[in-house]
Amino acid sequence: MTTNSTSNRMPRLLAMLFLLLGLFCAAALPAHAEDDYNTTLDRLSRLQALAREFSSSRDDAPDPIVLTLSYTRTGDYNTTIWQLTAGVRDTEFESYVNSSDAELASLQSLNTVTLPTGEKIDFGHMLASMNLVYNGIPITGSWGGDCQQLAQQYYGQAQDAAGYAAAMRATFNIDDDGSLSKFGDQDLRADMDSVIVGSKVTQDTDLADALRSYYENLTEYDRAKEFISLSFGTQDTSNSSFADAVYRALLDDSGMQLLFYMNGMWSVNGWQIKEDYAPAVRGAADLFAEYLAGAVNREKVKSETNDRLVAMGGQALSDALAALGDSDAAAAALAAANELADGTQSAVSSGSDAISAARDTLQTKFDVKIFQLILLIAAAAAAFMLVFSMVMFVVHRKEN
């Protein structure tokens, strides 16, 4: 037995406790290392195979594509807005994967992957966005979400759209993994690729094969051209009307309306973008349009069909707002949708089903934000008690 008093041991005990707690928290942070392209696609293929097995064993036969893509959505891609739009992740499938192939957990912390073209991309962001695109919500999780974040970041730093676009150029499309920029080059590629690949995915698609085929001999020009065609239809990118079309698509998209609303940037009165946020949002949209026009040499892009990708309908948006407990916003959104002439059709149409499923799940959890806060507190308390127990065990062993 040691002869030191308890009071003399306490400073060292506390120091050890906080050191171990710091190490524990650091180990729990998502990995941001650069992942190998082929390794990542191999793991994605294995994950989809498990999704097919799991689906075939269930009476309700959940969509293997949704299971695969939603499994990768953690952290920032599993917040309330993501649950309302992409759907709630299947915890039973996650347990199935973790017990079958623990290595696949690395797909939940993906960041930078170097493509065969030599370009770098935020692969985790792309997969999460594909989940939304596949569900019929192509803008919110991809380029629209990044425009919203860029506008929010620079809000108050300029007087008009041109001033905002000029300020935003400092961080837009820079070489970055998300550490410095809200809309860096890796996000930009992920946004476009998720729309292009995600819009073509069906239940029978092999995701890894689809991505390999897409990235083979891909050029920036081809990427931008196909993205423009899918997202905005036939456009003369040398004309100022192209930027108008990009901005209009951003505001007319009901998924984006939900995102703006949840970030305090959308007015229930008149159901429109708040006047003080409009210049920042327009500046971000103009900057994105400027990039796209430059990537296709300001050429005219022709769409092969009259369809373009649009988001969930007004009823689904109203349901999502109702799930959040705002009946006034739900009524305003539905009224605005009924007044809007439907001049386009969607190439994907399952968004409403995804919203309904997420809404039903969220409504069973009472207050979503409070529920999530309770989970965070419980997790932190459990982590602290685990570390404290480890320290006490070590001290006890030393005393004996």
Q: d(Cα 254, Cα 105) in Å, to the nearest integer?
A: 33
Q: 292 with 178: CB under 8 angstroms?
A: no
Q: Which amino acid is at 111?
A: N
Q: Which residues pair with 236 in a beta bridge?
A: 300
pLDDT tens by residue, 322-347? 888 889 998 998 888 877 644 444 44
Arithmetic mean of pLDDT, 135-157: 95
Map out the domains of the chain as residue ranges: 36-362, 365-400
pTM of the complete model: 0.78
Higher pLDDT, 105 or 360: 105
- pLDDT at 312 (0 to 100): 55
pLDDT tens by residue, 167-197? 999 999 999 988 899 999 999 999 999 999 9
Using DSSP's 3-state secondary structure scheme, residue 375 falls into helix
33 has pLDDT over 90: no
Q: d(Cα 243, Cα 260) in Å, to the nearest integer?
A: 20
CA distances, 28 to each of 21, 24, 75 (Å): 11, 6, 12
Percent of the chain with pLDDT over 70: 74
Q: d(Cα 248, Cα 27) in Å, to the nearest integer?
A: 43
Residue 231's H or E segment, with its range, is helix 220-232
- pLDDT at 354 (0 to 100): 52
Phi, psi of 40 (to 5 degrees): -65, -45
Phi, psi of 310 (to 5 degrees): -130, 170
Q: Which residue has the tokens 């120091």?
A: 15
pLDDT tens by residue, 79-138? 998 998 888 999 999 999 999 999 999 999 999 999 999 999 999 999 999 999 998 899
| DSSP conformation class of 250 | H
Higher pLDDT, 327 or 359: 327
Confidence tier at 23 by pLDDT (50, 70, 90)? very low
Average pLDDT, the chain: 82
Q: 145 with 259: CB under 8 angstroms?
A: yes
